[in-house]
């Protein structure tokens, strides 16, 4: 063999050793404790040395290439009996020109797919689900609840947003408590078998109520509250079988009580972000004990453990939720913006963190949204 050929083989020895396709054995041998990492590296280096030694020997007559698989029998008695090798490992021998270029294997534990598809809800249907929006603006005089000016701005934004997410959107305006219950029950009775998701949005005045699972209540235009946990439990696996295992999302723009949060001083530079011009209103009313049949706690519905449910609140339980007459509520305005900017790449929980962070920095008075999350997987909206 010519010296130039020897030098070429020496330079290419690492690539040639890799092309021998013995690397599938290394991890298996190391994981089972047969070889240590140091031993594996020594063996790999030994193969390169053997190759160089062979290059220095007189060339043997050319032999026909055998493309049959090489069978490595790992069942011999010499091996550790506690090691569970497959009976035979077949390694096909290919010509160098036929072998595909294999990208480097990522380190153990690294995320190959950041979305981890086995932990992501699939939204394949079109439409992917129903979206019911209840928008209460005008309240009866004897309810002592003011008109919610600016709520139409919220409603229009969310209608467009969820239509863009391939939802079949239905909007109902100015419903009494019993009418709200009726609309919710109509949605529950629909067949969701061919759909992948369900969304309920409620824009109204709210209050504190007694609860077991989900805090807060929502007012109908007649001034009667409905506990949020009752609304949510209409859709659980016991009451709505066709939504079992499917994500059920609730977005609540309403006060959780009458407390006003004036915030606290922090030792960092943050924008003052004073309240914009225009009328600033809250959706708060004092705590009231539920009255009448329409808002009695539904004990049977509240017993099952909720799953595949997320309830996003515009504010912390017990506190007011702020709304601008001209631009709508802080929560919906921010939620819509975040969905527009990040829904194509981020899951819902991550986006709700962005909403909480942005809303918490607003205004002279303070507000922080939050959520009760019982989803089993990550939720990504189906963006067009």
Query: What residues are labeled active site?
Result: 205, 255
* CB-CB contact of 248 with 305 (8 Å): no
Residues 6+ apart with CB under 8 A from 220: 136, 175, 176, 177, 178, 179, 180, 204, 226, 294
- Spatial distance between the Cα atoms of 216 and 290, rounded to a whole number of angstroms: 11
The SS3 of residue 59 is coil
Region at 85 (left for phi over 0; alpha for psi -120 to 50; beta for the rest): beta
Given a contact cutoff of 8 angstroms between Cβ atoms, the answer to whether 325 and 150 are in contact is: yes
User: Cα–Cα–Cα angle for 311, 314, 315, nearest 5°?
Assistant: 105
Q: What share of the chain is helix, strand, coil (3-state, %, to 5)?
A: 30, 20, 50
Q: Which two tokens stand for residue 105?
A: 């294997």
- Of the candidates 136, 169, 383, 341, the residue with the CA atom closest to the CA atom of residue 254: 136
Query: What's the chain's Rg over C-alpha atoms?
Result: 32
Sheet strands side by side (includes 217-219): 206-207, 217-219, 225-227
- Given phi > 0 = left and psi -120 to 50 = alpha, else beta, which region is 263? left
Q: At what angle do helices 348-360 and 330-342 cross, to 10 degrees?
A: 140
Question: What is the distance of C-alpha 318 from the center of its chain?
Answer: 27
For 131, the 3-state DSSP assignment is strand
Give the total residue count for the chain: 384
Long-range CB contacts for residues 109-115, cutoff 8 Å, separation at least 24: 115/347, 115/378, 115/380
Q: Where are the beta strands (DSSP E) in 183-237?
A: 197-203, 206-207, 217-219, 225-227
Closest CA to 327 of 65, 151, 188: 151
């Amino acid at each position: 063999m010519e010296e130039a050929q020897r030098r070429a083989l020496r330079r290419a020895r690492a690539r040639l050793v890799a092309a021998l396709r013995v690397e599938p054995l290394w991890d298996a041998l190391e994981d089972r404790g047969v070889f240590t990492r140091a031993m594996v590296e020594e063996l790999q280096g030994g193969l390169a040395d053997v190759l160089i030694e062979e290059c220095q020997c007189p060339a043997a007559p050319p032999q026909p290439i055998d493309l049959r698989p090489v069978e490595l029998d790992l069942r011999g008695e010499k091996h550790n009996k506690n090691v569970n090798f497959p009976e035979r490992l077949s390694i096909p021998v290919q010509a160098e020109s036929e072998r595909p270029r294999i990208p480097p294997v990522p380190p153990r534990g690294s995320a190959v797919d950041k979305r981890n598809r086995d932990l992501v809800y699939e939204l394949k249907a079109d439409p992917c689900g129903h979206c019911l929006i209840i928008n209460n603006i005008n309240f009866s005089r004897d309810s002592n609840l003011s008109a919610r000016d600016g709520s139409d701005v919220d409603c229009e934004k969310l209608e467009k947003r969820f239509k863009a997410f391939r939802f079949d959107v239905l909007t109902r305006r100015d419903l009494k408590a019993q009418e709200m219950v009726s609309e919710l029950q109509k949605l529950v009775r629909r067949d969701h078998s061919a759909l992948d998701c369900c969304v309920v949005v409620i824009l109204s005045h709210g209050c504190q109520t007694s609860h077991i699972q989900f805090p807060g209540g929502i007012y109908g235009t007649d001034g009667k509250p409905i506990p949020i946990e009752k609304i949510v439990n209409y859709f659980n696996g016991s009451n709505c079988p066709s939504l079992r295992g499917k994500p059920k999302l609730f977005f609540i723009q309403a006060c959780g009580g009458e407390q006003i949060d004036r915030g606290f001083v922090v030792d960092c530079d943050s924008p003052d972000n004073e309240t914009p011009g225009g009328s600033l209103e809250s959706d708060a009313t004092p705590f009231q004990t539920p009255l009448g049949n329409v808002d009695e706690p539904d004990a049977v519905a509240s017993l099952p453990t909720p799953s595949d449910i997320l309830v996003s609140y515009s504010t912390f339980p017990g506190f007011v939720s702020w709304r601008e007459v001209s631009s709508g509520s802080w929560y919906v305005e921010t939620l819509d913006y975040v969905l527009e900017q990040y829904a194509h790449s981020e899951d819902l929980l991550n986006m709700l963190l962005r909403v909480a962070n942005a809303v918490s920095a607003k205004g002279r008075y303070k507000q922080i949204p939050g959520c009760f999350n019982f989803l089993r997987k990550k939720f990504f909206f189906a963006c067009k």
